Every structure is written in structure tokens, then in C-alpha cells.
Amino acid sequence: MTTPLTLTSGRRPDGTVCLAVAGEIDMSNAGLLAEALEAHAGPVVVDLTGVEYLDSAGLSVLFAHADRLQLIVTPLLEPVLTVSGLTDLATVHALRSDHRPHA
């Protein structure tokens, strides 16, 4: 059974692709995230603020595209990305609990 995951694609005013992700990313649906990232060449802003759970399958997808990703994350996911080393490879913008960017 696939875990619910919502992917919404759009563009920023500067033309950069944005991908808003909501739900849980696990081995049952990580392929959907990979397909969404592979559908776009160049930089992608991935808004993970709606993600409640991220397992190693989801991390693997993010690692595979890390060199072109800007990730927007909540305090829930920030430690996971830091411990995994993804923050060393991708640009990560952490939001505070009130959903404003850290200064």
C-alpha cells in the first residue's frame, strides 16, 4: 500500500521550479518524488514543510539530486537532514516553528 504523498509543481517569479511536498515520504512512494525531480532539469526548490515523515528511501532520492536542490524544511526535518549529511550537499533553508525563515 502506498503512503499518501502530494506533489505540487510550480515556478517562482524567476522561473525556478518549485516542488511542494506534503505527507509522508517512504519506500512505498519515494519513486514518485524521484520522478517529479527527474522531470525538471536545473535547480529545483523543494518545499518539505508539509512532510511529516521522511525515511531512508526519501533521503536517497534527495541525495541523488542534492547538487541542484534548495530544500525548505521545518524544525522536525532539519536534524534528519543534518545527521544524514544532506545539509553539506544541498542548500537547506530551515523555517522556525512559526514558518518564518531563520535569520
- In this predicted structure, the answer to whether residue 4 has a pLDDT above a threshold of 80 is yes
State how far Cα 94 lies from the chain centre.
Answer: 12
Residue 21: predicted pLDDT: 98
Amino acid at 25: I
Count of CB atoms situated within 10 Å of the CB of 10: 11
CB 46 within 8 A of CB 70: yes
Signed CA dihedral, 69, 32, 85, 83: sign only? positive
Find the mean pLDDT for residues 90-97: 85
pLDDT digits (tens, 9 = 90+) for 7-57: 999 999 999 999 999 999 999 999 999 999 999 989 999 999 999 999 999
Q: What share of the chain is helix, strand, coil (3-state, %, to 5)?
A: 30, 35, 35
pTM above 0.75, yes or no: yes
Residue 3: predicted pLDDT: 81
- In this predicted structure, the answer to whether residue 102 has a pLDDT above a threshold of 60 is no
Residue 97: predicted pLDDT: 60
For the chain, give the percent of residues with pLDDT over 90. Answer: 84
